[in-house]
Amino acid sequence: MKRVFNLGRKSVLSLSLVLCGIGALLVSCRRPDYIPAVPEIKAKLAPVVDTGYLTPMPIGNPVSGHPWIAHVNAVDLDHDGLMDVIACEAQEGKVLWLRQVSRGKFEEIVLADHLPAPVHAEVAEMSVPGRYDILVSCMSVVFPDNDKIGSIVILENDGKQHFTPHVILENVARVTDVRAGDFSGDGRLDLIVAQYGYDQGEIRLMERVGRWEFKSKILLDLPGTINVLVADFCGHGRQDIVALVSQQYEEIFLFENKGGGKFEKRILWGSTNEDYASSNISLCDLNKDGRPDVLYTNGDGFGPSPVPGPRPWHGVQWLENAGGGKFKFHRIGDQAGAYGPIGVDLDGDGNMDVVALSAFNSWEKPGAVSMVWYKNDGKMNFTPHILAYEPIQLLTVTAGDFDGNGQQALVTGAFFGTPPYDRMSRITLWRRPKNP
């Protein structure tokens, strides 16, 4: 069973809540002949306890109640040279701007509220070049079912960081991610949309035909899409799409842009374990060969048991782009409740590393980890470094240069949808300790 939370009269699903399928009640439609036969490579390197490597600092408002931070994104929203954070608070229906007013000092500003469970926010120059508008994915606030209650809101920036909301899609299967890309090559940004739904969902291409008008085309008619990524994955100069589909499918799809509005669909990787528990994918050129790769976590804590917690198959993966639309699967490491993988050169040695969170774990055990850094030795061998045992229930992480010194720092968001409600945080900045 995927992740569902009750709020009295209403229920909300988190981003990777996303994760609302009841696997035991769904009939599999898997087509095994479509799944590439690739080995899983398990990491054998022993973990290093490195909890002093980064120093945590809460930013924004203090913890109140049980925070539901579904997404954080590092971006200099006002172009003042200081890195900021935008965040989605799904329970409160808010998109937040944690503006860095001076080095290490943040003020929290509500950019939009009364939104129906916003779970993902991306920036794109949708209106005026040089201005960041915000694409907001909304799942809505009901129990998981097939009602058409998803929506997309674009927050239009007037250039002074005042935002006007435009609802450009509504009354559809619940939306978990939306990204911008010029898929038609006409110079206008189109949208690709992940609609998780429940036992009916889809991946929707929205071609821009006016200022806030779009024409929709369905690329995939399956439930469970969590994330979509946009890049030239095939090296032909056009924007392709990679999508993660969970539920009982547990597959990663490539939609190769053939031009003229046509896309060729194929499965890059899939698990025969219907409870593989896919959680997130992200974009990263991990081996720095100039081709965009895909980082992938599986760590959803529900299913097959209704009790949330780790599963032995949870972990972190890398789909290496081998060129020509072909990818090679690598297992980076086992990690309980793995979520939110990002590529970041955390130690500044020139090698791209990976950071992943544990959204689900056996929190009653003192050795349950919360955040892990997979340090790359430059030969694509990854040593797990345990960055934190607490705060717990971290769901989302982003990286950026917050101090202006070239060092990458992390920002995490916590989502407390289930007990235990301790060792809590909301939004946290993790930086290298300053030298005395």
Using alpha carbons, select from 430, 394, 419, 298 the residue that is nearest to residue 14.
Answer: 394
pLDDT in tens, 187-236: 999 999 999 988 889 999 999 999 999 999 999 999 999 999 999 999 99
Beta strands (DSSP E) in 173-211 are 175-181, 190-195, 202-208
Residue 127 predicted with pLDDT over 50: yes
Average pLDDT over residues 105-123: 97
Residue 25 predicted with pLDDT over 60: no
Average pLDDT over residues 357-380: 96
Residue 417 predicted with pLDDT over 60: yes
User: Tell me, what amino acid is at 348?
Assistant: G
Residue 251 predicted with pLDDT over 80: yes
Using alpha carbons, select from 99, 91, 103 the residue that is nearest to residue 426.
Answer: 91
pLDDT in tens, 337-365: 999 999 999 999 999 999 999 999 999 99
Distance separating alpha carbons of residues 398 and 323, to the nearest angstrom:
27
Average pLDDT over residues 59-70: 97
Residue 40 predicted with pLDDT over 90: no
pLDDT in tens, 170-195: 999 999 999 999 999 999 999 999 99
pLDDT of residue 305: 64
